[in-house]
Structure 1
Amino acid sequence: MWFSINWKIFALSLLPPYLRSMTVQSWILLLVSAVETLHYEWLQYRAGNIYKLAHNSQKCYLRGALNDRFDRELRRIRIDDGNAFKRKYIYTDGEEKPKYLGTIFLYDDSDYSDTGVDFIVIVPGDLVYSVYEMRALIDFYRLASKRYKIVTE
């Protein structure tokens, strides 16, 4: 590829044959070492950008990016759909509705279908991670309209 270059060989090949003593070669390699360092940092930056472009907000890619970053060996982080429970309303005496409520489960606001989250990131309990770093990674890849919740199992 055009960006794959060995700077040491390139610099020494540009040197005229009569200047190729060990002292001059050492001096040229010292000058080229800064360019080599910059080239290596650029290659790392390029690889990181290619990785970011290879992932998007689809469930499989987001799960892969989270597992690559936080659980590389076991890959236990999962992404499930958000809960979509229907709301149950309690009526007043003036509405003359039956008062028997049956069994009612109390849910968090994020568990209902109209105001809930779109997906849930399930993280194993024994995994050590930074919540802020995970939120930043999810926010980078998710669509702007999607809401999420991180749950530890």
Structure 2
Amino acid sequence: MHPEHVDVLVVGAGLSGVGAAYRLQTLCPSKSYAILEGRADMGGTWDLFRYPGVRSDSDMFTLGYPFAPWTDAKSIADGDAILRYIKDTASRYGIDRRIRYNHQVQAASWSSEDALWTVRVNKGLATTTLTCSFLYMCSGYY
């Protein structure tokens, strides 16, 4: 049995992963893609860190998406507002339907001969393998 193949595999469903997915589906509509998210929900750092007072250290008018401009009054935004922005954007553009949750990348190896990445992924106790032509790492800092 051959592993599942997608043209582009995005790792991470936070601010960067959602932005990458939007660009893929608008600028490269003929390319297939999937997003692998290691956690149970999207949002990256803004889903992971929910302590009182968590906020951006960069202004969201600059950090936000040009295709979905930040409209909140506070440019240095609270974490909850950023998480809502990511989720709303993903939902508006159908990106949320491409996310595979609880998929943790364990290894990725490039084959020059095949011009493919082979990516080993754990989902719970199960391990699966995918291949892709382009691997887009949007896994962030944590």
TM bucket (normalised to shorter chain) is: under 0.3
Which of these two proteins has the greater Rg computed from alpha carbons? Answer: 1
Give the number of the structure whose residues are more often strand, by fraction. Answer: 2
Give the number of the structure whose residues are more often helix, by fraction. Answer: 1
Give the structure-1-normalised TM-score: 0.23
